[in-house]
Structure 1
Amino acid sequence: MAPRVSNECLKRLHREAGWTLRQFVQAVNRVGTERGTPTKYQQPSAHQWLNGHVPKGETRPLVLEALGRRLHRPISYIDAGFPPPDDSSSGLGIVQELIELGRLDMDPSRRNVLNVGLFSVSAGIPQWQDTAERVVAVRSDGGRRIGAGEIAVIVSMTQKLSDLDYQYGGRGVRPSAAAFLVNIVAPCLSAPAHEEVRMGVLSAASDLCYLTGYMAIDEGLQGLGQRYYMKAMELAVSADDQVAYSLALHGMTSQALQLGHSGAALRLARTAAARADSIEHNARAFLAGQHAYASALTGDRRGALSLLREAETGMNRGEGSSKVVMGRYREAVMEFDTAQVKYGLKDLSGSVEALERYRELQGGGHRRRKVLDLSLLAERQLEFGHLEAACGTWNEVLDDYPFVQSGRADQKVAAIKPTLKPYVRNRVARDLYERVGSILPASGANRRGSPHTRHTAG
C-alpha cells in the first residue's frame, strides 16, 4: 500500500490559523453543535486530517467553516485539499433549485432538515459573471405564455407578504411565501414570454426570495435564510437587476453582523459596494449604512464615518427605492445606522441618543419592528447605566409583544428577566421583572429566536 500523502493545503491553513490540534478539533466541534449535528473529535483526528486522511463527507463542511471563521475568508474544498463534494443538486437549474428549496420550507414533516441549516462565513458569494452563465437554465419549457399581469401579481403579493411580516413577524407568513414561490412564481420563470417580461419576472422573484430569506432569519433559521439570499442573488443576475443583487448582499451583511461575524460582514459589504455605482442613490444609501457599521466593528473609524456621510448623501439625493421590500432610506433609518456605527466605535452615549432620535422619527411603526428596535434601545440604556429608563422602554416592548410572531422578538423578551435579575431590589425593575414572568408563560412558551437583524424596509 502506498504511503498516505500529507495534506499540505490543510497544513498551511492550520499554521495560518495558529491553532493547536486540540483547538482545531474544538473549533470543528463547535460548528457541528451549532449546526445541530454535534461531533466529538479529539486531537488524533486533526493529526490524521493534516497527514492526508480525508474527513467524512459530513465533516468536511464543518472543517471549512471553522477555518473560514478563524481566517475571516471563505475556504473552499480546493483550498483545504479536499475532494469536491458529491452534490446531487449541482446539476439543477436555478428554477428547479428554487422549487426544491421552497418545498423543503413548505413541508412541516421535513422541518428537521431546516433546523440543521448553518450560516456559513465560508459560503462563496454568487459572482455576477459566474452566475450569468447559468441564465441559460431559466428558459422557456413550453406552456401558457405569460405577460405583464404575472409580474404585477408577484409584485403585489410580495408587498402584502412584506407588510404582514413587518407588522407581525415572519413565523406565520413564510409558509405562504414558500408556497407562492413553488406554485406560482417558479412556473412563471420557465414559461414562454417576451424578453422584457421574462426579466421582470426574474427580478420580482428575486425580491420575493429575499423577503422569504429574511422571514426565515426572523424565525431563527439562519442557514435557510442564507440559502434564500443566495437564490435571490442568482435570480437578480439572471434579471440583470443590480439593485436586487445588492439588496440580497445587504441582507447577508446584516445577518453576518448580527451573528458576530464582522469580518465576513465587511467582505460582503465591500462586494455590494463594488457594484453600487450603477444603482439608484437611495439603495446605495442602504448599502453604505450597513458598510459603515461593518467598518466600525472592525476598527476602521475613519472609513465608518466616511461611509455614514455617504449614506446621508444618498438619502438626500434619492427619491426612494424601486423595490417593494426595501422602502425608502430616510432620516429615521439614518439615525439607526448612526446608532449602530457609534456603538461599534465604543460611543455608547452617542448610540443611545441616536436610537432615541430614531424612536421619535419612527413614531408608532409596525409592531415587530417596534419590539426589536425598542429592545435594542433598552439594552443600551441599561448598559449606559439608565436602569429606570431601560425599564420604561422594555414596558413599551411588552405592550406590543403578544401580537408579534417573531423568533427574534421571542429571544429579546426572554432575555429581559435574566438581565434584570441583579436589579430586582429596585421597585421599577422588580415590577417589570414580574410583568415579564406573567407574559412569557402565556405568549412566549416554546418559542425560538435568533439575534436582532434589521429589515431594510424602512
Structure 2
Amino acid sequence: MGIVQELIELGRLDMDPARRSVLSAGIFSVGLNIPDWQDALDRLSLAHDGRVRRIGEGEIELVTTVTRHLSDLDYQFGGQNTRPTAASFIVNTLAPYLSTSGSASVRKRMLSAASDLCYLTGYMAVDEGQQGLGQRYYLKAMELAKSADDRDAHSLALHGMSSQALQLGHHETALRLTSAAMADFGSLAPNMRAFLAGQRAYASALTEGAAAAFPFLRKAEREMGKADSSSRAVMGHYREAVLEFDIAQVKHGLNDTEGSVQSLKRYTVLQRNRTQRRRSVLDHSTLAERQLRIGHLEAACASWSQALKDYPFVQSGRADQRMASMLSALKPFLKNSTARELHERARAVVKIRHVR
C-alpha cells in the first residue's frame, strides 16, 4: 500500500467519531525503529481521481495556508475540535493533490507541505492524549519529508516524536530521536537547528547531566541569532522566550527547581503579549507545580489562577489533565484561604476526564 492510500485510511478513521475509539486505543511505541535518511523509499504513486488534473502554485498555497490557519487555531483553542478538520482536509483535498501530476519542483514542495500538515495533525492528536495516533501521523510526516528530500521537515517530525517521548517520560528514547533529527545538523535552517539544540539540551539534562546539556543550550542561543521570521508555520520562530523555556526545562531536568521557576517566570513575562490560550494553560500550570514544589503556595495559586482564566476557552486533553492535577495538588492545602478559594472556583469549571 502506498503512502497516499495509508494517509487516506488514517484520515478517514480520524474523521469518523464512531471509529475514533479504535485509534485512541493505540499506544506510543518506545522501541519503534526509525529509519535514517538514507533508508527513504518513495512509495508515492500517481492515481488520478478526476478532481484535479495537475497541481501548481495555487494548490501548494492552499495547503500551506490551511496548515497555518489550523496551527493558529490549535495554539489558541487546542486540538480536540481542530484535528477532525485537519483529517478531513487530508482525505478530501491533500490526498488527491499527492496523487496528481505536476512538475518535479511543485511535487516536492507539495510533499513538504503535506509533511507539515501531518506533523501538525500528529501534534494535535498528542495534545488530545492520543499518543499512538500522534506517532502514526509523525511517521507519515517523516515519510513524506523524505520523499520530498526535505531535511527540515524530516527533522521537524523527529522533533515532535522526541517531545512526545519526553512528555511520556521516555527520556532515552527522546534523546535517540533528537540525535537522529540532528544527524545532518549543518544542512538544516538555523531556526530548526535552534529548536533541535534546545530539545537536545533538555533530553541530555535528563539522561547525561549538566556537562552534556549546557553546550546545547549555548548552541541553541547561537542558532537563534542566525534565524529569521520566515520559519515553518507549524514550528514558529525560535526567539528569546523559547530559549528561556528551554533553560527552565534543562534546570528542571537537573533538579534545580528554584532555578527552573525563575526561568519560567521570565518566560511567561516574555509571552504575556501572545494570545495563545492553550500554551498559557500549560505554561502557567507548569510554573505553579514547580512553585508549589519549593513551598511557594501563594505564588503557585496565582499562576494556577492565570491558567484557570484561560482554560474555559481551550479544548485540550493536556489542559484537562493539568487542571485535574491542580485540584489534586491543592487538596492538602485547603485550610489556606487562597488555596481553598481557587479550588472551589476551579471545581466549577474544570472538566475531569481520563486522558489516554
Amino acid at match of 2:78: G
The Cα of 1:384 is off from its aligned counterpart by 1.1
Q: 1:139 aligns with which of 45, 56, 68?
A: 45
Residue 295 of structure 2: SS of its match in structure 1?
Answer: coil
Q: Deviations over 1:157-181 (max 9, x none)?
A: 0000000011000000000000100
Corresponding residue of 1:405: 315
Paired residues of 1:218 and 1:449 also in contact (CA < 8 A): no
CA-CA distance at 1:233 after TM superposition: 0.3
Letter in 2 for 1:275: D
Greater RCO (Cα-Cα under 8 Å, separation 6 or more): 2
CA contact (8 A) 2:2 2:45 kept: no
Q: Which residue of 2 aligns with 1:432?
A: 342
Question: How far did residue 416 of structure 1 move?
Answer: 1.2
* CA deviation vs aligned residue, 1:294-323 (integer Å, no higher than 9, x gap): 000013211100000000001011113531
Q: Equivalents in 1 of 2:264, 2:198: separation in Å?
A: 15
Q: What is aligned with 1:211?
A: 120
Q: TM-score, normalization: structure 1? A: 0.75
Q: Where in structure 2 are the equivalents of 1:138-217 lying within 5 Å?
A: 138-142=44-48, 143=50, 144-217=53-126
- Check the 8 A contact 2:191/2:226 in 1, yes or no: yes
The reply on whether 1:126 has 2:35 as its aligned counterpart is yes
Alignment of 1:411-422 (within 5 A): 411-422=321-332
| SS of the residue 2:19 aligns to | helix
Query: Which has the greater radius of gyration?
Result: 1
CA contact (8 A) 1:126 1:233 kept: no
Structure 1: which 5+ runs fail to align? Answer: 1-91, 451-458
For 1:312, give the aligned amino acid.
E
Residue identity opposite 2:326 in structure 1? I
Residue aligning to 2:193: 284
Inter-partner Cα distance in structure 1 for 2:231 and 2:191: 9
- 1:296 is matched with 205
Partner of 2:306: 396
Aligned to 1:274, what secondary structure does the other structure show? coil
In 1, the alpha carbon distance for the partners of 2:88 and 2:184 equals 32
Asked if the contact 2:197–2:220 (Cα under 8 Å) also holds between the matched residues in 1, the reply is yes
Conservation of the 8 A alpha-carbon contact between 1:246 and 1:276: no
State the shift of 1:390 in Å: 0.2
Q: Unaligned stretches of 5+ in structure 2?
A: none
Letter aligned with residue 432 of structure 1: L
Counterpart amino acid of 1:379?
Answer: E
Question: Residue type of the partner of 2:280?
Answer: K
Which one of 274, 283, 295 corresponds to residue 385 of structure 1?
295
Counterpart CA distance in 1 for 2:208 and 2:339 is: 35
Distance 1:176 1:212 in 2: 10
Q: Which residue of 267, 285, 305 maps to 1:358?
A: 267
The answer to whether residue 169 in structure 2 is matched with residue 260 in structure 1 is: yes
Matched, 1:117 2:26: yes
Partners of 2:191 and 2:231 within 8 A in 1: no
Contact preservation (8 Å) 2:197, 2:219: yes
* CA-CA distance at 1:275 after TM superposition: 2.1
Query: 4+ residue runs of structure 1 moved beyond 6 angstroms?
Result: none
Q: RMSD of the alignment, in Å? A: 1.1
Q: Note the 1:95-114 alignment, pairs <5 A.
A: 95-114=4-23
Give the whole-Å Cα distance in 1 for the aligned partners of 2:158 and 2:230.
16
1:449 corresponding residue in structure 2: 355
Give the TM-score, by structure 2 length. Answer: 0.97
User: 1:92-130 CA deviation, whole Å, 9 max, x = no partner?
Assistant: 111111111111111111122112110011111132222
| Whole-Å separation in 2 of the counterparts to 1:343 and 1:267 | 20
- Mapped to 1, the partners of 2:263 and 2:113 lie a distance apart of 34
State percent identity of aligned pairs. Answer: 61
Deviation of 1:352 after TM superposition, in Å, equals 0.3
Q: 2:66 & 2:244 partners in 1: Cα distance? A: 30
Letter in 1 for 2:315: Q
Selected match of 1:370 from 253, 277, 280: 280
Cα distance in 2, alignment partners of residues 400 and 449 from structure 1: 19
Q: Deviations over 1:360-418 (max 9, x none)?
A: 00114311110011000000010011000000111111111111100000001111121
Question: Which whole-Å CA distance do the structure 1 matches of 2:264 and 2:194 have between them?
Answer: 18
State whether residues 282 and 321 of structure 1, in contact with CA within 8 Å, keep that contact through their aligned partners in structure 2.
no
Q: Which amino acid aligns with 1:340?
A: Q
Following superposition, the deviation at residue 448 of structure 1 comes to: 4.0
Amino acid at match of 1:338: I
Secondary structure of the equivalent of 2:234? coil
